[in-house]
Amino acid sequence: MKDNVSVITVFYLSGLNETMSQRWIIFFFSLLCYCIILLVNVSLILTIILDNSLHEPMYILLCVFCMNGLYGTTGFFPKFLWDLLSVVHIISYPGCLVQAHVIYSFVCSDVSILAVMAYDRYLAICRPLEYHTIMSKQRLMKLVCFSCITPFCAGGIVIFFASRLQLCSSYISKLFCVNWVIVTLACFPSETAVNSIVTYIIIIIYVFHGFFIIWSYIYLIKTCVNSIENRAKFMQTCVPHLTSLVMVLVTVLFDITNMRVGSKDLQQSLQKFVVIQCFVILPLMNPLIYGFKLTKIRNKILRVISL
């Protein structure tokens, strides 16, 4: 009966239980990774903001991409580091919903920004004469707002429906809160139908984002094959985008697998892979890949270092 359901006020995160014997080593390396992520992302963001010659669509989108990386890692690392220093790993009910929302919107925003980047590269390489007319400052701002606000709202919708569920367990077998895991704790599975429908609609929307990105790069590859100049542009500006896309898709695929498999040992391994890939490799590699690959940014950074 619904009246007998207790109110959940805190969640217990059990994803760290098997690694507590090495918690100080994990804490040190996690803190080091977080500091490096902050350093490289903030450095790239400031380089782009402070240099007027980098106020072009491609670099502005890269700046937004790095800001989103900081947003996502901030939703994970502070709580994770605190848990490594704590005996009991708990998070308040509102805090869990906020963390789930941050991580959900972070991943969706990554895909949206990559889609806008693909559109930008398509215009720059395939329609260079119309590029500045089509990709005006006003349109760029609209696309940036779309890639940030839409995922934030989508995450808010799924978390809102999750918050309406009555839960029968407060144990989450992960390192952090995720919307779908919260939904699986519902006392009455029949009440989660709306959550499933909304989630699948949002998944379909972002799958279309993925198809658009793939179509854009297939078209770009066809266009660049017979042109040495276009081929050089593609290698310099599009290869980092493709690398980022592959890493995002692999992360999402493994996280979905992690939530569906039955083996506990396999779940633990996949969960660790997803955490490293999503919150360490992606935010760390993206600024490094773009920083070394894009000539203008590389030259600016080297000039600052050499001072």
Calculate mean pLDDT across residues 246-273. Answer: 63
- In terms of Cα–Cα distance, which of 219, 186, 179 is closest to 200? 179
Reduced to 3 states (helix: H, G, I; strand: E, B; else coil), residue 1 is: coil
- Report the candidate in 178, 246, 141, 100 with the shortest Cα–Cα distance to residue 238: 246
pLDDT at residue 268, as a whole number:
60
The number of beta carbons lying within 10 Å of the beta carbon of residue 9 is 10
| pLDDT, the chain, mean | 82
**Residue pair 32/38 in contact by the 8 Å Cβ criterion:** no
Mean pLDDT to the nearest integer, 151-177: 89
- The pTM of the full predicted model, rounded to 2 decimals, is 0.85
- pLDDT value at 151 more than 90: yes
Token pair of 258 as six digits? 């992690």
Measured in whole angstroms, how far is the alpha carbon of residue 92 from the centre of its chain? Answer: 23
- Token pair of 7, please? 């109110």
Q: Answer yes or no: is pLDDT of 272 > 70.
A: no
In 3-state terms, what secondary structure has residue 88? coil
Q: Which pLDDT band holds residue 1 (cuts at 50, 70, 90)?
A: very low
pLDDT > 60? residue 266: no
pLDDT of residue 233: 67
> Please, what are the domains in the chain?
10-306 (1.20.1070.10)
> In which band, very low, low, confident or very high, does the pLDDT at 192 lie, cut at 50, 70 and 90?
confident
Residue 149: the pLDDT is 94
pLDDT of residue 264: 54
The pLDDT of 217-234, averaged and rounded, is 74
